[in-house]
Structures are given as C-alpha cells and as structure tokens.
Amino acid sequence: MRSGRRSGWNAQSGGCRDCLSSTADFTKAAEWFGRHGRTSVFFGRPVPGIRSLISLPAGAERMPLATFSAFTLAGSLLWNGLREAAGAAGAAGSARGR
C-alpha cells in the first residue's frame, strides 16, 4: 500500500514517475478508487488492471493499512473461492461424462 506514497504517485496529475505501467492504467485505477472509495479495494480484486494498481491510489489517499489489508483479504478470498468452486464444478461435470 505504501508504494503509492513512495513511487511518486501524484493524484492530481494521475501519474507515477517510477512505475512500469502506463499513465492510462494509473488514471483508470485512480478513477475507480475515486468513484468507489475503500470498497474499490474489495471489488477491484477480480478486475484485471485494477487489481494490480489499486494499491497506488489507496496509498496516495492514505487508506489505513489495516483497512486495506482487510478489504484485500476479503476480496481475494471471495474471488479465489468463486474460481475454486467453478473449477470443482467443472471437474465434477467432467468426471460424470466419462
């Protein structure tokens, strides 16, 4: 989460001086965070692009680490649980078809 503070994230300009992704990716993540606030960390976990970058605007906005960690854990558990369930259902369906 602190990467947003350390990397030079500038919420006003929507850019990062030391990051490897494009400014457009950061702008997208910052807009997502701006619209949805803290819940963007939870709901951003399954969204490609957002999932990797949401920590930068969260850090720049000084979201508490405990809150960030709780939302990240809950969002990741839900997302991965759904993926696991889908895989198990697919495997069960495949085993029945043999």
Q: Which residue has the higher pLDDT, 82 or 7?
A: 82
Q: Which domain holds residue 63?
A: 3-96
How far, in whole angstroms, is CA 59 from its chain's centroid?
12
Ranges of beta strands (E only) in 46-89 are none
Residue 95: band (very low, low, confident or very high) from pLDDT cuts 50, 70, 90: low
CA dihedral sign, ordered 69, 86, 46, 49 = positive
Look at residue 21 and tell me whether its pLDDT is greater than 80: no
Domain count, the chain: 1
Percent pLDDT > 90 in the chain is 10
Look at residue 8 and tell me whether its pLDDT is greater than 60: no
